[in-house]
Chain A
């Protein structure tokens, strides 16, 4: 049987479109609201990345930082984040969930405890921004044992030699960082160049589902229709911030946005 993440990719492929992955921060702007956002956007998104907020994020741009600080300020704790996922997963039609965060949160929880809790809550995959290969070898093996996808990251600076080793050690899904940027940067590389790199990865590792993230927005997303999957994060976080400052409901606005994104790649 396919794991839920691979299944989501397969479904999208059957519909001849890339899978849509969204990123929202757990607890932004409150525990309740972040759960409502997940529930609302899972009507249109295929896989939900749930950001685990951290207060010294070395790879996140302004929008995601704002969301993370907002969540931390509102008191979000690791156990609340697990609960949000567990509540979300109670719904039969819920989509696969991937945690995205920084290693210190896992380290403090204890790797084994963390994975146990992930399994119990229904977390399907992990992206750990600051645990690169080969440092992640032992942990990613532990993830696999617990049927949790450890998602390796690749970037434009990744050498060919590294690329081969990393994809070899990856599970079902890999994440290609489109450009040298923190999250939320403007797409400063041509889609053609990004796709060339993407195709290079697919050639080396044709069976793995490869998603592209960083710089993917309503404006740019339709350039990447022939890929396995696309991640939109900062634009969604920005929409939450915008809604809050305009005293509008972020749940409605964000789900409208994700619906639009989905239409653009369908």
Chain B
């Protein structure tokens, strides 16, 4: 299995949509073949269409707000004592997370194809919140599928979705989290694909959704590359990019522009959700060696039992609480381009405390996983090493969990 240079990773799949011959694909009911094919034709055309790119960039700039900040975390650097620690504050983006890029692109595409309704799944509520924002912006009706358990634990985002006029549909089946929300969203699309566009909230699902999402979030690394050149004159000689990985959309977007660099120069570190220390359950299929299986239309490493039933996950962060992982990350793992590890719930909480103590930054529980590993590893690196953590979400949505786990003082300024 080999990563090719000079070709975007999203375009490295084979004729049937498999990366490395075995990750991804289109394991979908016959009914969805046609809408997926339509979407493929539309996307392949649009991604090379200068007018569409211009339109996208205009909305990214004026509405989402690009570029998001790239800042040095001086106090944290001093505290850790090792590499320079920086952050790409993607939570600056309109709505407070990277999910806005994918949502905007899907709405632009839906509008062009004449669809009136757009549906989407959500875990932490960000994908849903952003889709509801974009749908409102572009005059589309919006339905968001969300696990009942997640609705309970991510109330601020649920409120935001409703305020944007979206229908939030609770999903009570299975574990009542993201995995079930995605299944339910698929089912709705199967029954309504003639009138409705579907947005998959991460780089998961049938191959076309993986590609559209990866293409959209790559905005993050495009900005970062320019910011690095502006700050250092060039891409640093020792660069380490830390990102949490749930479905994998923010990490893929954070890394994409640097794909062709030697990994000794630009290393990618993906941090999965290890779950509570005391629990056997986790949401880290790459770290803990899960087997390849089929989930939501794609072959990927996925938590499952020997029969092939998908296993329940457990994580403090709803956004990482997914048993599978993007086929793109499976590909990056097996080609050894990226390295994957996990942080536990407790480690993420601790990292959140450290970051908020030293910096004026409030990463949500998802990027707190990445901070945890970055802080640990940065100690051992030389001073000329540049460590960057993608702070891809804001902790506002996590206030009830943080209050419960850490006490009121950690949520006070929100």
Central interface residue in A65, A132, A162, by most chain B CB within 10 Å: A132
In the complex formed, the residue of A with least CB distance to B18 is A135
Question: At the interface, yes or no: B203 with Cβ under 8 Å from chain A?
Answer: no
User: Which residues of B sit under 8 angstroms from A107, Cβ to Cβ?
Assistant: 293-294, 308
User: Which residues of A sit under 8 angstroms from B26, Cβ to Cβ?
Assistant: 132, 135
Given contacts A58-B190, A58-B297, A182-B187, contact A157 B27 (CB under 8 A): no
In the complex formed, the residue of B with least CB distance to A54 is B309
In the complex formed, the residue of A with least CB distance to B29 is A59
Residue of B34, B191, B306 near A158 (CB, 8 A) is B34
User: Which residues of A sit under 8 angstroms from B27, Cβ to Cβ?
Assistant: 103, 130-131, 135
Given contacts A102-B294, A155-B31, A177-B30, contact A61 B193 (CB under 8 A): no
Give, as a whole number of angstroms, the nearest-CB distance from B321 to chain A: 14
Question: Do B307 and A180 touch across chains, with their CB atoms under 8 A apart?
Answer: no
In the complex formed, the residue of A with least CB distance to B299 is A107
Residue of B30, B31, B306 near A108 (CB, 8 A) is B306
Give, as a whole number of angstroms, the nearest-CB distance from A264 to chain B: 26
User: Which residues of A sit under 8 angstroms from B30, Cβ to Cβ?
Assistant: 132-133, 153-155, 157-158, 177
Residue of B33, B191, B307 near A185 (CB, 8 A) is B191
Question: At the interface, yes or no: A159 with Cβ under 8 Å from chain B?
Answer: yes
Question: At the interface, yes or no: A252 with Cβ under 8 Å from chain B?
Answer: no
Given contacts A56-B296, A58-B187, A108-B293, contact A132 B308 (CB under 8 A): no
In the complex formed, the residue of A with least CB distance to B15 is A134
Give, as a whole number of angstroms, the nearest-CB distance from B413 to chain A: 40
Question: Do B187 and A61 touch across chains, with their CB atoms under 8 A apart?
Answer: yes
Per-residue 0/1 for B87-122: is the Cβ within 8 Å of any A Cβ (1 yes, 0 no)? 000000000000000000000000000000000000
User: Which residues of A sit under 8 angstroms from B25, Cβ to Cβ?
Assistant: 135
- A9 and B183 CA atoms in complex are apart in Å by 34
- A129 and B186 CA atoms in complex are apart in Å by 13
Per-residue 0/1 for B13-45: is the Cβ within 8 Å of any A Cβ (1 yes, 0 no)? 000100000000111111111110000000000
Question: Do B31 and A56 touch across chains, with their CB atoms under 8 A apart?
Answer: no
Central interface residue in B173, B180, B310, by most chain A CB within 10 Å: B173
Instruction: Identify which of residues 167-212 in chain A touch chain B, using a CB-to-CB cut-off of 8 Å.
Output: 177, 180-182, 185
- A203 and B308 CA atoms in complex are apart in Å by 39
Question: Do B309 and A72 touch across chains, with their CB atoms under 8 A apart?
Answer: yes
- A58 and B180 CA atoms in complex are apart in Å by 9
Question: Do A105 and B190 touch across chains, with their CB atoms under 8 A apart?
Answer: no
Question: At the interface, yes or no: A7 with Cβ under 8 Å from chain B?
Answer: no
User: Which residues of B sit under 8 angstroms from A36, Cβ to Cβ?
Assistant: none
Question: Do B293 and A129 touch across chains, with their CB atoms under 8 A apart?
Answer: no
Question: Do B29 and A55 touch across chains, with their CB atoms under 8 A apart?
Answer: no
Residue of A56, A104, A135 near B183 (CB, 8 A) is A56
In the complex formed, the residue of B with least CB distance to A65 is B173
Per-residue 0/1 for A131-170: is the Cβ within 8 Å of any B Cβ (1 yes, 0 no)? 1111100000000000000000111111100100000000
Given contacts A59-B29, A65-B173, A132-B30, contact A78 B307 (CB under 8 A): yes
Question: Do B29 and A153 touch across chains, with their CB atoms under 8 A apart?
Answer: yes
Give, as a whole number of angstroms, the nearest-CB distance from B271 to chain A: 25
Residue of B31, B173, B308, B309 near A177 (CB, 8 A) is B31
Instruction: Identify which of residues 107-122 in chain A touch chain B, using a CB-to-CB cut-off of 8 Å.
Output: 107-109
- A54 and B308 CA atoms in complex are apart in Å by 8
Question: Do B29 and A135 touch across chains, with their CB atoms under 8 A apart?
Answer: no
Given contacts A78-B307, A109-B308, contact A180 B297 (CB under 8 A): no
Instruction: Identify which of residues 1-30 in chain A touch chain B, using a CB-to-CB cut-off of 8 Å.
Output: none
Question: At the interface, yes or no: A44 with Cβ under 8 Å from chain B?
Answer: no
Instruction: Identify which of residues 32-84 in chain B touch chain A, using a CB-to-CB cut-off of 8 Å.
Output: 32-35
Given contacts A54-B309, A108-B304, contact A132 B191 (CB under 8 A): no
Per-residue 0/1 for A42-54: is the Cβ within 8 Å of any B Cβ (1 yes, 0 no)? 0000000000001
Question: At the interface, yes or no: A99 with Cβ under 8 Å from chain B?
Answer: no
Given contacts A77-B307, A132-B33, A162-B33, contact A104 B294 (CB under 8 A): yes
- A69 and B176 CA atoms in complex are apart in Å by 13
Question: Do B307 and A58 touch across chains, with their CB atoms under 8 A apart?
Answer: no
User: Which residues of A sit under 8 angstroms from B309, Cβ to Cβ?
Assistant: 54-55, 72
In the complex formed, the residue of A with least CB distance to B193 is A180
Question: At the interface, yes or no: B146 with Cβ under 8 Å from chain A?
Answer: no
Instruction: Identify which of residues 168-183 in chain B touch chain A, using a CB-to-CB cut-off of 8 Å.
Output: 173-174, 179-180, 183
In the complex formed, the residue of A with least CB distance to B186 is A58
Question: Do B308 and A130 touch across chains, with their CB atoms under 8 A apart?
Answer: no
Question: At the interface, yes or no: A60 with Cβ under 8 Å from chain B?
Answer: yes
Question: At the interface, yes or no: B192 with Cβ under 8 Å from chain A?
Answer: yes
Question: Do A130 and B183 touch across chains, with their CB atoms under 8 A apart?
Answer: no
In the complex formed, the residue of A with least CB distance to B25 is A135
Question: At the interface, yes or no: B295 with Cβ under 8 Å from chain A?
Answer: yes
- A72 and B16 CA atoms in complex are apart in Å by 32
Central interface residue in B30, B32, B179, B193, by most chain A CB within 10 Å: B30
- A109 and B305 CA atoms in complex are apart in Å by 11
Question: At the interface, yes or no: B194 with Cβ under 8 Å from chain A?
Answer: yes
Cβ contacts A to B, 23 pairs, < 8 Å: A54-B308, A56-B296, A57-B183, A58-B190, A61-B187, A72-B309, A77-B307, A104-B293, A104-B295, A130-B27, A130-B297, A132-B33, A134-B16, A153-B30, A154-B30, A156-B31, A157-B32, A157-B35, A158-B34, A162-B33, A180-B190, A180-B192, A182-B190
The 6 A-B pairs at the shortest CB distance, nearest first, are namely A108-B308, A157-B34, A104-B294, A104-B308, A155-B31, A58-B186
Interface positions of A (Cβ within 8 A of B): 54-61, 65, 69, 72, 77-78, 102-105, 107-109, 129-135, 153-159, 162, 177, 180-182, 185
Extra 16 A-B pairs, beta carbons < 8 Å, given A56-B183, A78-B308, A180-B193? A56-B310, A58-B28, A69-B173, A107-B293, A108-B293, A109-B308, A130-B27, A132-B26, A132-B30, A132-B33, A135-B27, A153-B30, A155-B31, A157-B30, A158-B33, A185-B191
Interface positions of B (Cβ within 8 A of A): 16, 25-35, 173-174, 179-180, 183, 186-187, 190-194, 291, 293-297, 304, 306-310
